[in-house]
Amino acid sequence: MKTQQLPPKYTEQIKTITKPLTDSFSDNRAAGKTIGTKTPGGQIRKGVDVEKQIAVDNGALRLQPLLKPAWGRQGIAYGPYTRTNGLAFAVFLLNGHNTSQMERIESLKGRLNRWVVGPEVDKPAERLLRWASSKHKRWMLRRFLWWIRSTSKISKYIKPFNLPSIDENLAVGWFPQEVPNNPLVEGNSFIVHATGSENGELWANVGEHLLSAFKGLQNIQLYYIVVLREKGAAYYAASVPNAHGLVAYPNMRLIAIDPFNEEATVYAGLYQSILGQCGFRVDTRVYGTQVAQIPEIGTWYGTADVADNLMGDGLLDGAQADKGGCWNVYQGSYQLTANGAQATEMDSLAVLESTTASGFVHLLIETSAKVTGARILWRFQDQNHFWSILADGEQCKLQILDNGKWEILAASNLWYLQPSAINSLQILDDGESFSLYLNAKLLFNKRFTDNRLQNATGVGIGAIKANSNLYFRCFEAHPRSIPIPSNLKLGSPWMVEGKQVVISEDFAGSTGELLGKTTTIGGKSWHKQMGVGVIELTGNSAAKVQANAKNPNPGRTAYTVDWDNPNFVDLQIEIIPPGTRRGQREKGRSGLVFWQDANNYIMINNWLDDCYGGASISSFFYLNGFEELYDAVWTNVGERVYWGVAHKLRTVFDGMNYTTFINDEPVLYRALTDVYPDAVPLSINRVGIVANWEWGNDTGSVLKNLVAKV
């Protein structure tokens, strides 16, 4: 358990806030002019902005990259507040890049050479002239200074430029100080950890540890909601439909519980330590924050369907739970005590029936010096069908009882109940996969995919021995999806989709260049928009970039068709990247293009290369006649894109906002104003396909089944 005591003098000076707070960021503020201003309700925006890079524009807070990455240099806070059950802090935001981390770049000369050359669309001299007349030069000094600090040789040998290793970039939640020194070891907050190829990993403070909810957190809009308890907090998150690891707004998913933290006075806040990757610039956007007391979840068990503190006297069998129905002891017996429920017979099992299948189960187990075995049960259908985690003083086992027969799926002596301690055991389960945690550590170092008994609604406890000094308490089970309380709703993530097919292309026909072909539906003629490369029909209902590993496509090449709905398109293409495995020198760089005119267009493409342990989806912006290469925005997608394996790449774009999907999973969202505050919506006059340049060129992707909807 972690606690922090404030000095008596400091404690006396704190005047806590009791009324609700909403910050909608409707007031534009220049960079460095935000902290110290007031919310619409008159509360002071506290926090820190050492480099004066926090601004407000276009209805959202903007946190811009730091030259000196570190905690305690950039963030916004509200408070102080007194810890109470049901006091919630909600934040609706888009983190700049969930895998932001401190990385060294190539030589400064190499970086500047690439910046001058850019994406190889314009000649360097023309590009420099376009830059000189653009608004991009306003950011160049800070960009240049950041590159100097990030250059391997300079940062290694010049001490003032030496940069620490940072892999955690965002902290959102409750902190014991207005400006936390290190959110990784204090407070109740979400932490976003950079994983590289799998993008972000979502952590939560649990006791003295950080619980890993899941990897693969994509660069999309998210809700983070941290609800305080008398001890600890409950962590909820939400996003858009089909987002990995999350549920869709207006619902939320409980992903972790901390039963330990007791800091009495806290501040609600969000802090950024670093933004960007490899010297690219990217900003975080915060659309709203909310602090509110939520009466309907103002109990120790919050949003649970069934819960019981298991303390009292008498037998557990038939006892009424704090929330839900009555306990059913299927075998053995339990006695309620002031310390919790204690088994009085060997191999005792007790179950509560929930109204729905549980998505999160939590239990505290108090042990003595001699530890005996304890179970937590879930997906309980009947006495012959349920899942179980068995933990004792030597090991943990994951088991399923299926038709009366035990099957062990995992066992290890690396995890076990700590003696003479209060152990926290929790389960995160979406019905298809689940994660198991003992004292915030991921059991067996893996997440399990198994849908057996996924609709069973029973949860419970089990004990191996009788009359041992082992006590169960604070048992709770929560639904897989929970409505967000009405006074924590800060607006919906951008969710739009096309309904009607206007253009489709099956790429059928005899072999030859795509140029001039009429679309299968829509009657539009393909036009070669840019580039000297070639995309040809294969004669087998597909188009192929005419390239191979020895002869890559010669730079950005795009083919488009007229588009008659300038304010919206939902565009999808099926792509088979070249090659069959890593090591063949094959590169995927194909995707979609949205074209207003020769001076204004954006591209979304996949990126697959031997030089990196995963893949990404990237977006590039050629606006007002200039493309700042290092403003490109991407998300790392692991093996969602792989050599020789077809994937659907889809982007929904309204001229300002776009969301990109891989196989119907949302992976990347941005508004143009997130990148450039003064951007205006594009008129979508043409749409099509592109073989892009992105540190290398496509070596022969195959394209199938283009569909455009309104």
* pLDDT category of residue 10 using cuts at 50, 70 and 90: very low
Q: Where are the beta strands (DSSP E) in 176-250?
A: 188-196, 199-206, 209-217, 222-228, 233-238
Q: Read off the DSSP letter of residue 297.
A: G
Q: In this structure, are residues 221 and 494 in contact, taking their beta carbons and an 8 Å threshold?
A: yes
The dihedral over CA atoms of 489, 497, 645, 243, expressed in degrees to the nearest 10, equals 10
Average pLDDT over residues 583-603: 98
d(CA 168, CA 246): 20
Handedness of CA 257, 261, 263, 264 (dihedral sign): positive
Over 90: is that where the pLDDT of 129 sits? yes
Burial letters for 642-680: b for 16+ Cβ neighbours within 10 Å, e otherwise?
A: bbeeebbbbbbbbbbbbbbbbeebbbbbbbbbbbbbebe
* pLDDT category of residue 221 using cuts at 50, 70 and 90: very high
Which domains are seen in the chain, by residue range? 8-101+164-294 (2.60.120.200), 108-161 (no CATH), 306-484 (2.60.120.560), 501-709 (2.60.120.560)
| pLDDT tens for each residue of 350-374 | 999 999 999 999 999 999 999 999 9
Residue 448: CB atoms within 10 A of its CB come to 16
* pLDDT in the model for residue 150: 85
| pLDDT tens for each residue of 389-441 | 999 999 999 999 999 999 999 999 999 999 999 999 999 999 999 999 999 99
Over 90: is that where the pLDDT of 597 sits? yes
d(CA 413, CA 396): 6
**Closest C-alpha to 306, from 370, 356, 259, 258:** 356
Q: Read off the DSSP letter of residue 155.
A: H
Over 50: is that where the pLDDT of 8 sits? no
* pLDDT category of residue 5 using cuts at 50, 70 and 90: very low
Q: pTM for the whole thing? A: 0.95
